Amino acid sequence: MRLQTRSAMLPSRRKAVRMVLTVFGFPFLAAACTTTSPPPPQIANATPAVDPLAAERYAALGNERFSVPAVSLEDLKPRYMRQLVDYPTREQPGTIVVDPDARFLYLVQEGGKALRYGVGVGKEGLEFTGSARVERKAQWPRWTPTPDMIRREPGRYAKWAGGMAGGAHNPLGARALYLFKNGKDTLYRIHGTNEPWTIGEAVSSGCIRMMNQDVIDLYSRVAGGSRVVVL
């Protein structure tokens, strides 16, 4: 009778074990499959592609008398990069048009086009407006602060009253176009800068500043006597 009783209990125990596996074991097995599966691949945030043309235009220049470092494209808004744009105007090709509010300089081309450059402009109250002529051009120009600049900020400018030789640390940068009106020097310039991060800002003492790579390009395209219009 004892053997029969134990034999009779075996099916019940097997059934109980199956129930335990059903209730508890399968989730454990399912969990084990989940943890051993490889995690989904991690997709890194895509790095913005650098425009190869912009990188070339604003690369370091090794063929200059003084070093011209590359412009950091991360710090430069694309709108201020040199580019050919539509620009319908009554001005003749070869004319320079400066729009201080938009922070753009346009070199008028044929067919309703213009080369557009980003610029930095004068602080409020120091801007030049109207028309002028490019009566002088200079590479790596000498810089001398005006008497007004020395009076406004003597601690900054008085030591350069005798002028600063051209070079990498000269605030006029690699090139300068000198603006004259009715044969008289206006004391305003279109020039380069050793502070390219100021392009798009109103920071200068009235002059129009450009990245060195851009002012070198503009200098090569503009003839002496060219008309300049500052809106």
Report pLDDT digits (tens) over 27-55.
433 333 333 334 445 554 544 566 888 89
pLDDT at 75: 79
pLDDT at 149: 85
CATH number for domain 55-230, candidates 3.90.930.12, 3.40.718.10, 3.30.70.920, 2.40.440.10: 2.40.440.10
Break the chain into its structural domains and give their ranges: 55-230
Instruction: Pick out the chain residues at pLDDT < 70.
Output: 1-50, 124-126
pLDDT at 13: 52
Choose, from 191, 205, 206, 211, the residue flagged as catalytic: 191
pTM confidence score: 0.76
Q: Is 191 a catalytic residue?
A: yes
Choose, from 207, 210, 211, 215, the residue flagged as catalytic: 207
pLDDT at 49: 62
Go through 79-115 and write b for each residue having 16 or more CB atoms within 10 A of its CB, e for each that does not: ebbbeeeebeeeeeeebbbbebeebbbbbbbeeebbb
Distance, CA of 76 to CA of 74 (rounded, Å): 6
pLDDT at 107: 99
pLDDT at 123: 80
